[in-house]
Amino acid sequence: MAFSSTCAGLLAPIIAELTLGHSYAYIIGGKIANERAEQNLVFYNRGISGDRISDLYARWNEDAIYLQPNIISILIGVNDLWRTMKGEPSGITDRFERAYRHVLEETGEVLPQTKLVLCEPFILNTGAPAEQ
């Protein structure tokens, strides 16, 4: 079983923090790997901080389809939403929906047995958003 999160590497006790970062992928990967240690599950975190749907779309085949995971968790749209909140024209547009739908539809066609977990984008009032 492979779990791919788009938000790199093999989950092992020593290197988990380095390969999965400190995001939800790290927390979930650690919990599931602990609960199912006998299954030797592999977790990938392909998320890139600052990416938008256009970035995800451009690397989807390499970062998700190629891995042929059993489960893909997608958290995308935070940076698109943030740009919209800042009044930038490069925020969420009709292209966001088209790109996201294409990613989901292509995944369904190519990997029909893969389960998708879609996470809703959100903005926390910390860091750059709090400074605005």
> 5 has which bridge partners?
45, 73
pLDDT for 20: 59
* 32/11 Cα distance (integer angstroms): 11
Alpha-carbon span 25 to 22, nearest angstrom: 8
Q: How many residues does the chain have?
A: 132
At 24 the pLDDT is 79
CA distance 93 to 80: 9
Q: What is the pLDDT along the chain (132 residues), one digit of tens a residue?
A: 444 444 333 333 334 444 556 677 888 888 888 888 888 888 888 888 888 888 999 999 998 999 898 989 998 888 888 777 777 776 666 788 899 999 999 999 999 999 999 988 877 766 665 666
* pTM recorded for the entire structure: 0.73
83-107: pLDDT as tens digits: 777 777 766 667 888 999 999 999 9
